[in-house]
Amino acid sequence: MANRLPVDEVINPDGTTTWGRSPGGLVTALEPVLRAQHGAWVGWPGGIDQEIEPFESDGLTLVPVALSAEDVEDFYEGFSNATLWPLYHDVIAKPQFHREWWDAYVEVNRRFTERAVEVAAPGATVWVQDYQLQLVPQMLRELRPDLRIGFYLHIPFPPAELFAQLPWRRQILEGLLGADLIGFQLPGAAHNFIRLVRSRVGHRTHKDTVQMPDGRVVRAAAYPISIDAEEFETLARSEGVEARAKEIREQLGNPETLFLGVDRLDYTKGIYARLRAYSELIAEGHLDVHESIFVQVATPSRERVEQYRLLRDETDRLVGRINGDLGHFGRPAIDYQHASFPREEMAALYRAADVMVVTPLRDGMNLVAKEYVACKFDDEGALVLSEFAGAAHELRQAWMVNPYDINGMKATLLEAHRASPEERRRRMRAMRAQVKENDVARWAANFLGDLSGPSGPRPDAP
Ligand code: ADP
Ligand code: F6P
């Protein structure tokens, strides 16, 4: 179960509704996993007051949880995305603490729990996903001790010193401890969690385990998430995608070098500093708009949350100023698209790009970096990657940057741009081997294998 279903209900201009794919890395990673497991997916269909019965979509059983306008405001936009999201991402934006948002978080977590209780068979495994549902493991365990419960956090888990700001820190830790296994992207996050449980809840811990007063042992460990690399590569190799990649380059005036950024429009993604670094390279004459272009694609995201509105205005202004100052007729420095694209178009963009620039200020994993690598089946292309993305721990042959250091970023962009074809191929080959071996099926098998544990699923029904 996850906050979102893999599909959103979209209302067309003529009033009819259709289902579209939901945004973000969680859906990208989990969809193939759940399809293979034939499980049911409990989640929010993305709109308001949608009282919908469970339905089948593309071989998946989807179990919708309805949210009211107030729930969306207080639980989703409020506590999830204006309290937890900034707190868990190094307080890049200031987290807001409101007691009524917390009340909504508790109430909506309870609703998700009740929905899961209705559909889970006796002794079933329930895998709870992400920061929006951290209270669900404990709530589920109280109602259904027969279940095997896993929890996975797709975003970073903050250092104890930051987490300690949260007025409801103990409740969140206890909520998570309802799970048998708690998965994080990186070992550091799992350590942060164990340390906090020891100091704030007072349970005994040993290495990566917590000894619960009821005799249970809870484990917290790292399971770095990934993508369906084979599916991306197959898509990238298709004739349609190859033709479209060529067409994109032509439409951009056949530049010698195409730099690419692809992100949800989020302040954690470091879009502003990245575009500034690139524009300074043009302004200083290291790059020329007749030879290079930066394509930045930004998916609209959380548009009613204030920080996201500010970010959109700030990005619009920056791109306008850079192109106004540095562009020529038909030769902008930056081609900026505020849009969401189908997967084929994403693969074509990855195929077309010479240098992929992924520079988040903090990111749980960042699947875009892995998607780029998966699509480069000819070993061409360079990846510039932030040290603060979870992916940096695996894609070690990328050109690494500190996204706060604009001069450092400029130097690294130039280095990646000027690297010899042999150097690029050497690095890309190593990264491709990593992504192909550690794909999302392996991630899920590792987590679910550990969750089913040596004792196996519990047989006792409710
Ligand atoms: P996050 O989970 O924070 O959104 P990730 O990089 O892990 O970040 O995952 C983003 C996912 O969304 C990727 O699968 C990527 O392909 C997809 N995506 C990003 N931007 C777009 C876009 N403009 N159009 C369509 N899909 C996008
Ligand atoms: O991967 C992190 C995440 O917050 C997911 O939980 C979420 O589904 C995705 O990014 C997109 O965000 P949202 O669901 O708020 O549009």
Q: What one-character-per-residue DSSP string does 61-90 give? A: EEEE----HHHIIIIIIIIIIIIIHHHHTT
Kindly state the tokens that stand for 312.
């959109």
Name the band, by pLDDT with cuts 50, 70 and 90, for residue 31. confident
Query: How confident is the model at residue 40, as a pLDDT?
Result: 93
Residue 80 has pLDDT above 60, yes or no: yes
d(CA 131, CA 135): 9
Query: Does the C-beta of 28 come closer than 6 Å to ligand 1?
Result: yes
| Distance from residue 26's CA to the centre of ligand 2 (Å) | 6
d(CA 237, CA 221): 36
> In ligand 1, which atom is closest to the CA atom of 227?
14
Kindly state the tokens that stand for 437.
């071996």
407-412 long-range contacts, Cβ below 8 Å, gap at least 24? 409/273, 409/274, 409/277, 409/359, 409/384, 410/277, 410/280, 410/281, 410/286, 412/384
Annotated active-site residue 154? The verdict is yes
> In ligand 1, which atom is closest to the CA atom of 337?
23
| Distance from residue 6's CA to the centre of ligand 2 (Å) | 11
Percent of the chain with pLDDT over 90: 90
| Distance from residue 3's CA to the centre of ligand 2 (Å) | 8
- Tell me the ligand closest to 130's alpha carbon: 2
Annotated active-site residue 338? The verdict is no
- Tell me the ligand closest to 360's alpha carbon: 1
d(CA 315, CA 328): 20
Query: How confident is the model at residue 306, as a pLDDT?
Result: 96
Name the band, by pLDDT with cuts 50, 70 and 90, for residue 457. very low
Kindly state the tokens that stand for 275.
């575009």
Residue ranges around ligand 2 (CB below 6 Å):
3-4, 23-26, 130, 154-155, 301-302
Close Cβ partners of 396 (under 8 Å, ≥ 6 residues apart): 430
Residue to substitute in 21, 28, 226, 386 for testing ligand 1 pocket (most ligand atoms within 8 angstroms of CB)? 28
Cβ–Cβ < 8 Å for 197, 182: no
Query: How confident is the model at residue 455, as a pLDDT?
Result: 46
Residue 458 has pLDDT above 70, yes or no: no
Query: Does the C-beta of 2 come closer than 6 Å to ligand 1?
Result: no
Cβ–Cβ < 8 Å for 153, 182: yes
pLDDT (tens digit per residue) in 363-388: 999 999 999 999 999 999 999 999 99
Domains and CATH numbers, the chain: 7-225+441-452 (3.40.50.2000), 229-437 (3.40.50.2000)
Query: Residue 253: CA atoms inside 13 Å, Cβ hemisphere, count?
Result: 16
Query: How confident is the model at residue 16, as a pLDDT?
Result: 85
Name the band, by pLDDT with cuts 50, 70 and 90, for residue 454. low
193 secondary structure, DSSP code: H
Nearest CA to ligand 2 atom 4: 24
Kindly state the tokens that stand for 131.
């920061």
Query: How confident is the model at residue 270, as a pLDDT?
Result: 98
Residue 11 has pLDDT above 90, yes or no: no
Query: How confident is the model at residue 332, as a pLDDT?
Result: 98
ipTM of predicted assembly, 2 dp: 0.97
Query: Does the C-beta of 264 come closer than 6 Å to ligand 1?
Result: yes
Close Cβ partners of 168 (under 8 Å, ≥ 6 residues apart): 102
Residue 57 has pLDDT above 90, yes or no: no
Strand partners for 355 = 259, 382
Q: What is the mean pLDDT of the chain?
A: 95
pTM for the model: 0.95
| Distance from residue 25's CA to the centre of ligand 2 (Å) | 7
Cβ–Cβ < 8 Å for 48, 72: yes
Among 71, 363, 417, 439, the one annotated catalytic: 363
Query: How confident is the model at residue 52, as a pLDDT?
Result: 92
Residue of 395, 407, 323 whose CA lies nearest to 358: 395
